[in-house]
């Protein structure tokens, strides 16, 4: 009987020792614990304020498509230096590969086109109303080869790239 009791006491001591060793290890753990990191609770956060115009509630692109290019006006002044600057960045990302660094259609991709992509400093482009260029860049040219970029470039950036193209002026 004593032997059995002694055995259980030893077992209990061993279990307690292991338990406390684990607790000690846990309390002195060096790394961050999942439960200590701040939880993201999306439904308790204030809603993000959306950029104006992000969600089209007044027709968006559909209105541009239905309106003649000559009747579409830019929402901002196309001669603003900030718009032209941003337009240049847009040009280098989305247009230069075809229209080229000299705007003559001899970009790395454009040079293989026959005929070449339209010279953006030609009188034809420079004399076109901004809204017409905006529509051509947005939806392509019917039966033409300009890619429609409305799904790739935001409305404002499309106006800015038009501002940049216009700022180039007609080639001498
Ligand atoms: C895949 C090559 C390619 C890319 C990218 C491209 N274009 Fe073009 N673009 C062309 C071609 C080709 C034409 C000539 C259209 C034709 O012959 O139908 C053209 C024509 C044009 C015209 C003349 C439209 C007119 O009224 O005749 C403008 C303006 C223009 N592109 C601007 C742009 C701008 C701005 C970008 C960038 C946002 C751009 N393009 C991106 C190939 C491209």
Summarize pLDDT for 106-160 with one digit per residue, the tens: 999 999 999 999 999 999 999 999 999 999 999 999 888 999 999 999 999 999 9
Pocket residue to mutate for ligand 1, from 68, 118, 129, most atoms within 8 A of Cβ: 118
Cα distance between residue 165 and residue 137, in whole Å: 11
Pocket flag, ligand 1, residue 62 (CB < 6 Å): no
In this prediction, residues 56-65 reach a mean pLDDT of: 82
Cα distance between residue 101 and residue 110, in whole Å: 11
Cα distance between residue 164 and residue 113, in whole Å: 23
CB 159 within 8 A of CB 150: no
CB atoms within 10 A of CB 119: 19
CA of 34 to the centre of ligand 1 (A): 53
Which pLDDT value is given to residue 167? 97
Confidence bin at 166 (pLDDT 50/70/90) = very high
Which pLDDT value is given to residue 36? 76
Which pLDDT value is given to residue 32? 74
Cα distance between residue 163 and residue 87, in whole Å: 7
Cα four-point dihedral sign 105, 120, 171, 128 = positive
Confidence bin at 59 (pLDDT 50/70/90) = confident
Pocket flag, ligand 1, residue 125 (CB < 6 Å): yes
Protein residue with least CA distance to atom 8, ligand 1: 146
Which pLDDT value is given to residue 37? 77
Pocket residue to mutate for ligand 1, from 83, 146, 170, most atoms within 8 A of Cβ: 146
CA of 45 to the centre of ligand 1 (A): 44
Which two tokens mark 171? Answer: 């080639």
Which pLDDT value is given to residue 28? 85
CB 119 within 8 A of CB 105: yes
User: Cis peptide leading into 10, omega within 30 of 0?
Assistant: no
CA of 147 to the centre of ligand 1 (A): 7
User: Quick check: 35 pLDDT over 80?
Assistant: no
């Amino acid at each position: 009987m004593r032997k059995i009791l002694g055995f259980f006491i030893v077992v209990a001591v061993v279990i307690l020792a292991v338990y406390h060793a684990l607790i000690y290890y846990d309390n002195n753990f060096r790394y961050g614990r999942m439960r200590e990191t701040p939880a993201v609770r999306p439904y308790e956060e204030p809603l993000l304020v959306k950029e104006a115009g992000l969600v089209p509630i007044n027709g968006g692109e559909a209105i541009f498509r239905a309106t003649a290019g000559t009747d579409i006006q830019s929402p901002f002044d196309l001669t603003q230096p900030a718009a032209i600057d941003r337009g240049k960045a847009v040009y280098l990302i989305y247009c230069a590969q075809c229209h080229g660094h000299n705007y003559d259609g001899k970009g790395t991709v454009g040079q293989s086109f026959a005929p070449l992509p339209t010279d953006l400093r030609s009188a034809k482009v420079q004399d076109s109303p901004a809204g017409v260029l905006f529509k051509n860049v947005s939806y392509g040219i019917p039966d033409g080869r300009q890619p429609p970029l409305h799904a790739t470039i935001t409305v404002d950036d499309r106006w800015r790239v038009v501002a940049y193209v216009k700022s180039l002026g007609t080639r001498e």
